[in-house]
Amino acid sequence: MASQLQWLKRRDTCGADIAYLSARYNERLAALAGNPDTAVNRWTQTWHLDSNYPGVGGTLTFTGQLPRLHFEIAGYNGGHAGGDDGDVVVQGEGASYRANGCGLNFKRSGDHVIVTQDGDPMACGQAMGVDYSGTYITTSRLADKPEADLLSLKVLDNSRQNVAAHALLRSDYQALVDTINMSEGESPDLDHLGAKVSSFFVRGLAPTNASIVMSRGEELWIGLLAFDANGRTRMRYYTNVAAWKTMVPKTIERWHDDIDTAIPVDRMP
């Protein structure tokens, strides 16, 4: 019963994607027939980097007939990306690739492939900060993975703060999550509010994709860079502290000015 419910959950994520639906039904038929999950036990499919950060990810696709396979790997970290491809010969549950200074090792274990990298990253087609190394999981496992939020990313400390952030930011909650790519660490609280202060930015896109979060219990002060309808960068200031609705804390002002003093500020309701 548990396996059926789990399969139904995966199936329901397919939407109108016929190919994805077909793969899910083939998996279920194989399981009911007493055979291993066909997606879990094959090299030739698209695998996804198991990342906890929305701004970091990658895919690994194998095609061909064992033992000779062709691979395509791609990764991104914020605004930086990279990709490479080549041919490998699978031996047992592993394969290695060496060409022009790029070295990649693939080891498959059930429902995941572990990639390790050696050699020159630039030789593997990577931009700064992009790393192909990691664990790559099946599409069905990716669909089951919970979406990142401010709590799982350790921006906030507890579920009460997270609920408060949802209520305050509404549709901008996800926009804030999307900026949690690189951390500038904790900053001083210039307003002496006793608040925890953390700032973040997206690698390669820092002047336009960044945020700062001040938290004291469930009290929040947030600065979020966003584009207006004309594609111009603005800062949206949010707080759920009534006395600070019309005043931007010095801490956030300093952060704003360090990016660009000319960025307009919108005080959000």
- For residue 74, what is the enclosing H or E element? strand 68-77
Q: pTM here?
A: 0.80
Domains of the chain from N-terminus onward: 1-144 (2.40.128), 159-267 (no CATH)
pLDDT reported for residue 37? 46
Rounded Cα gap, residues 235 and 263, in angstroms = 7
Q: How far is CA 135 from CA 102, 110, 210, in A?
A: 19, 12, 28
Asked if residue 102 lies in contact with residue 84, where contact means CB atoms within 8 angstroms, the answer is yes
pLDDT for 268: 97
* pLDDT tens, per residue, the chain with 269 residues: 545 665 565 566 555 655 446 555 655 554 555 444 455 569 999 999 999 998 999 999 999 999 999 999 999 999 999 999 999 999 999 999 999 999 999 999 988 999 999 988 899 999 999 999 999 999 989 988 999 999 999 999 999 999 999 999 999 999 999 999 999 989 999 999 999 999 999 999 999 999 999 999 999 999 999 999 999 999 999 999 999 999 999 999 999 999 999 999 999 99
Angstrom distance (rounded) from CA 60 to CA 132: 9
Question: What is the predicted pLDDT for the residue at 30?
Answer: 47
> In the sheet where 56-65 sits, what is the strand order?
80-89, 68-77, 56-65, 46-49, 134-137, 112-119, 102-109, 94-99
Q: Which of 216, 221, 218 is nearest to 237 (CA)?
A: 221
Element (H, E) at 81: strand 80-89
- Return all residues near 8 (Cβ < 8 A) that are at least 6 apart: none
